[in-house]
Amino acid sequence: MERRVALAQVEAERCLKEAALAKKRKRKGKEEIIVADDLKLETRCSAPQISKEHIFISILRRQIEGKMTVAAIVSWFPISILVNRIVPEQYMDEIFHIPHVKQYCKGNFGSWDPMITTPPGLYVSN
């Protein structure tokens, strides 16, 4: 982690040095191309007056967001396996729904038990 922070600081300092050495500015599209005479480099910076802290925070934020996204995606897999082991079959909350679901799955859509308050369309999703 300390190495990444140091690399981010070096990158921020490099960008600031290039912006400070810039003597020629040209407009090209929406980006500003900065040409440094001493370094003979072209860098693309949208705002060369950005502070070092702002650049460092921006780089650090991207790294943290990337790690959190990967952690969230990776954690869904074991969670789904755990849920499927606990509840391997489709879940139905009350036993008296089963006869009505069997009728509905046979295509008998006209039968309805008035004691059941669940709309019939929800059986299709199960």
> What's the confidence (pLDDT) of residue 46?
46
Distances (CA, A) of 111 to 75, 106, 108: 43, 11, 6
Q: Quick one: pLDDT at residue 69?
A: 94
Sequence ranges of the domains in the chain: 2-88, 92-126
Alpha-carbon span 91 to 88, nearest angstrom: 9
Q: Nearest CA to 26 among 43, 38, 11?
A: 43
Confidence (pLDDT) at 104:
80
Give the DSSP H or E segment for 117: none
* pTM for this model (two decimals): 0.32
Q: What is the pLDDT of residue 47?
A: 47
What is 29-97 written as a DSSP string? TTEEEEEETTTTEEEE-S-TT--HHHHHHHHHHHHHHHHHHHHHHHHHHHHHHHHHHHS-SPP-S-GGG
| Averaged pLDDT in 10-residue chunks for the chain of 126 residues | 71 72 50 48 51 82 92 92 82 72 82 71 55
Residue 126: the pLDDT is 52
At residue 99, the pLDDT reads: 81
